Amino acid sequence: MSSSTLCIHNAKVVTPGGIADGGVLAADGRIVALLRSADKAAADTVIDARDRMLFAGFVDAHVHIRDPGQLQKEDFASGSTAAAIGGVTTVMCMPNTTPPIDSVAGFDLARRAGERASYVDFALQAAVHPQNEHAMASLWDAGAVSFETMLADGPPGESYTNCTALQQMLANAVKLGAQVGIYCGNQAVVDASLTRLRAAGRTDFLAFAESRPPESELLGLKLLIEARRKTAARVIARQVSTAQGFQIVTVAKSEAPRDSFRVEVTPHHLHLDVAVLTRLGPYAQMLPPLRSAADVLAAQHAAASGTIDFIGSDHAPHAVAEKNPNDPWASPSGTPGLDTLAVAALDLAARQIISYPKVAELLAEHPAQVFGLADRKGRIALGADADLVLVDGRAPFHVTVDAIRSRAARSPFEGIVLRGRPILTVLRGGVIAEDGKFVAKQPAGRFLPRSLVIAT
């Protein structure tokens, strides 16, 4: 991105290993020196961090950009702007675009859209479902960082609802050396719940939460665990949200080979309980739904204890006009998350629920490792891309409509003050956001194909 040199000094450098005084020198987009204490190096741009925290650029492994095909919701320009201001320098895009990323043609359309308009670096995740398993090899060769599928709530005919079919798909992934991210639910439970609630005339948003009860997630997780055990596949349990779910995956991880079973949690499930639905209605409607206060505490414990491998925003924007404040069954599920991914995690650290080194692990190092990008992303290390985020841990972030740069505008965190926010975002040595303002002059995001060797 930049052929100039950049020095950030007098920082508290935060890595998964701890916090140390120091800084970095970047040249030609890479980190070329690690500075000690208050050392300063000559450079074209020199930034005094003034003891603020310096992290590797955050990596969001769960982003629905909606480009191509659904631009009224989000496109690469608007989504990557929100990412940059929020301290996210790499996004991994989910495949439910129009057309979907379930063929090489769809993959290439999404890649070209990102190369034209993204202000941050991006990777692509490919869909797999019973109708496109024949395309898995070509999609993997194209550079997909994962395959993504659903056990419930997917488009008609595209969810894996029985163990035999799921095993066959996972066996195909094993042959390729690929990993699969899986949204866990049980369609029979969801359908029965929807029938009951609609028959009762329920149109309140708490009914939406009841339509995907914890039982659905638990049955989905058990199906995933059984199929993984029989195939030895590498899998990611996406968006785990319930206390019992965290118990199940903790045991499953202890029984699985190292790094073959990963677990994701979202920021909203780490912070917000189901009561928020009564206040914000459709703007707090997502899948899986918000859960109980006890489930939130369980998610926080799982993040602190090591059960969780990374936090993904599940940035799933919809235009405000598409949300129906009077009927959850007529309102699309999904909320923006790129703006609040980092501040939500930093707030947990400010409240000592997790540590700042844990933030560096869950938002940078681990997602880069899991998705085969650790050679360049997620680390403050010699030779790594100079993707950097300077954080003021004391600064408040008031979540308002004006603070959200995504086209979706309405956040489930709306009305909440979170503590800690990015004040400088650097992509490959060039400043792209500063003091909450977007300063990049032109899109410079690069497509990131999966590395040939995935860290395990």
DSSP letter for each residue of 314-376: -B----GGG--TT-GGGS---B--TTTHHHHHHHHHHTTSS-HHHHHIIIIIHHHHHTT-TTT
- Cα 439 to Cα 423: distance, rounded to the nearest angstrom: 12
Specify which residues 390 forms β-bridges with: 54, 424
Distance from chain centroid for Cα 355: 19
Closest CA to 301 of 248, 255, 354: 354
CB 80 within 8 A of CB 446: no
- Cα 329 to Cα 97: distance, rounded to the nearest angstrom: 22
- Residue 314 annotated to the active site: yes
Beta strand extents in 171-259 (DSSP E only): 179-183, 234-238
- Cα 348 to Cα 211: distance, rounded to the nearest angstrom: 29
Look up tokens 């095993």; give the residue. 167
DSSP letter for each residue of 139-190: HHHTT-S-EEEESSSSSTT-B--SHHHHHHHHHHHHHHT-EEEEE---HHHH
CB 343 within 8 A of CB 34: no
Distance set, CA 262 to CA 61, 257, 284 (Å): 12, 11, 26
CA angle 354, 355, 356 (to 5 degrees): 125
Neighbours of 195 (CB within 10 A): 11
Look up tokens 């949690």; give the residue. 265
Q: What SS3 class is residue 49? A: coil
Structure-token pair, residue 216: 């659905």
Distance set, CA 58 to CA 106, 313, 345, 377, 453 (Å): 27, 11, 11, 9, 21
Spot the catalytic one: 314, 339, 387, 392. Answer: 314
Structure-token pair, residue 90: 């790499």
- Cα 59 to Cα 267: distance, rounded to the nearest angstrom: 14
Active site (catalytic) residues: 314
